[in-house]
């Protein structure tokens, strides 16, 4: 099966979103909101998912054959982590007010 060419996009977006997760975690820790909410734990899980998506996306780029298992894994991890990040931002916004 031919590659779809979305591996670099997933890799780039995942690395950027890991940085966003770190900013949210740091903001929660600095404001001492992390003691009252699970938002930082959710964001850590999301960051780990983005990290795994980066790994699978890179493996898909480096694969010598057209094997889309890595690309599908990166896709699903990216989407799941993005959903978790959305939930985290909603929790962060709700507690910041």
Residue 89 clears pLDDT 90, i.e. is over it: no
Phi, psi of 59 (to 5 degrees): -65, -35
pLDDT in tens, 45-70: 999 999 999 999 999 888 877 668 88
Q: Please give the pLDDT value at position 68.
A: 82
Task: List the chain domain ranges.
Answer: 7-96
Burial class of 82 by CB neighbour count within 10 A (0 to 12, 13 to 18, 19+): middle
- Does residue 20 surpass a pLDDT of 60? yes
| DSSP 8-class letter at 66 | -
pLDDT at 1: 47
N-terminal to C-terminal alpha carbon distance within the chain:
49
Distance CA 63, CA 55 (A): 12
Q: What pLDDT, on a 0 to 100 scale, did the predictor assign at position 24?
A: 87
């Amino acid at each position: 099966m031919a590659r779809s060419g979305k591996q670099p996009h997933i890799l780039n977006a995942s690395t950027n979103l890991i940085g966003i997760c770190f900013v949210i975690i740091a903001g929660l820790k600095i404001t001492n909101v992390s003691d009252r909410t699970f938002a930082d734990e959710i964001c850590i899980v999301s960051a780990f998912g983005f990290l795994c998506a980066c790994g699978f996306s890179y493996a898909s780029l480096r694969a010598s054959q057209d094997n889309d298992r890595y690309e599908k894994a990166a896709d699903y991890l990216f989407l799941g982590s993005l959903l978790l990040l959305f939930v985290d931002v909603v929790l962060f916004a709700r507690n910041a007010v």
